[in-house]
Amino acid sequence: MSPRATNHAILYLLGFELVSGLVSFTVGRPSDEWVFWLHGIAGFSLVGLVVWKYRIIWRSLQRRGATRETAGSVLLVLLFVGVLASGALWSVIGRGSIEIPFYGSIGLLVIHTTLGLALTIPLIVHAVIRWPRGIRPRDIANRRAALRFFAVGLGGLLLWQGASAAAPVAGPRPRFTGSRERGSGLGNAHPVTQWLFDRRQQINAETWRLRVDGDVREPLVLTYAEVSDLARHAATATLDCTGGWYTIQDWSGVRLSDVLALAQVSDDAASVVVRSRTGFKRRFPLSEASQLLLATQVRGEPLSSGHGYPLRLVAPGRRGYHWVKWVEAIEVSSAPSWWQSPLPRQ
């Protein structure tokens, strides 16, 4: 494979990996499994391209020697290898973390995501400055190049299949998202995480209030006791965290649709926003309100502060960042449900 074709293949595959990786954070239903398949196959295809890329770098160093740009290239290579290594390790073992001073433990999947995002800008700069513009037809239109591209894709598929087969040997079988089971059925003993910079809240239930307003005819302000009196529904749901773990728990509380029925939703309403005391919020289609649970308990006991006491959202089929904790406000809106950033910015 020519240097030009190799460089372009790496660039396009890394771009695809960035997009598919971000998209994978937004889906949580088995019907979306194909997103994770493509991300895994493309990622392992990059492993095969590393061999060709190493030859390109080595020949360049022999021809030109070290220059001022060498340090930047080395950093790019280290990030590139770090992304591939952390992703491959996660696919096989699904566990592992490093300790960061003043922050705490960071899992392999978080490391993989962070390195992938960190690689984006220097890769674009490198491509603009160093890589030739365009690609010549003979780089991809001859039999030898076509066979090499096919071999890269086939190699990625085989490596991905091998990693998938090895994953159960290294621990519990992963979910289709790649997440591993943690603490199922243990109630408040399952892992506690927050989205990025959200802080755990300590809330006094006596002074806490749930406000329901927006496009409703009867705005509500409910106390914890009033919400608890409405909490007559139970559901078993899977919380799948983008940090790489999932847990299956029995939740109990009140359906969001039941609360909205008390507030009498306006005819032009289209979505509902669930907001945390921290300001974190997510918007959902109004049609899904009957599937969403405002939980006060997990496994028959009140939620702990880390899990959202006094009230959290349970959103089956959605990734963990949709499960808003420390809920204190519900706003009905005429805006469409997609009127928000795909991933939270808070």
- Digit-coded pLDDT (tens) for 173-210: 788 888 888 899 999 999 998 887 788 999 999 999 99
Contacts of 278 (CB under 8 A, 6+ apart): 198, 199, 201, 326, 346
Domain termination residue (choose one: 126, 148, 171): 171
Residues 242 and 142 in one domain: no
**Taking all residues of the chain, what is their mean pLDDT, rounded to a whole number?**
85
DSSP 172-187: SPPPTTS-EE-STT-G
Rounded distance between C-alpha atoms, residue 290 and residue 109, angstroms = 33
pLDDT, residue 239, reads 96
pLDDT, residue 309, reads 97
The pTM (predicted TM-score) of the whole model is 0.82
Residues 82 and 130 in one domain: yes
Q: Does 259 fall in a domain? A: yes
pLDDT, residue 147, reads 77
Domain termination residue (choose one: 171, 198, 217): 171
Nearest to 330 by CA among 287, 268, 284: 284
Residues 161 and 186 in one domain: no
Residues 82 and 46 in one domain: yes
Residues 120 and 195 in one domain: no
Residue-range definition of the domain harbouring residue 159: 3-171
Residues 9 and 151 in one domain: yes
Residue 47 CB coordination number (10 Å): 18
- Number of folded domains that form the chain: 2
Residues 192 and 88 in one domain: no
Average confidence (pLDDT) per 10 residues, the chain, 346 residues = 71 87 90 91 83 71 66 74 82 65 65 84 74 59 72 83 71 81 93 84 96 96 96 95 92 97 95 96 96 97 96 96 97 95 83
In this prediction, what percent of the chain has a pLDDT beyond 70?
85
pLDDT, residue 243, reads 85
Is residue 277 a contact partner of residue 215, using CB atoms and an 8 Å limit? no
Residues 153 and 244 in one domain: no
Q: Does 76 fall in a domain? A: yes
Residues 152 and 209 in one domain: no
Is residue 289 a contact partner of residue 257, using CB atoms and an 8 Å limit? yes
Q: Does 339 fall in a domain? A: no
Rounded distance between C-alpha atoms, residue 90 and residue 9, angstroms = 24
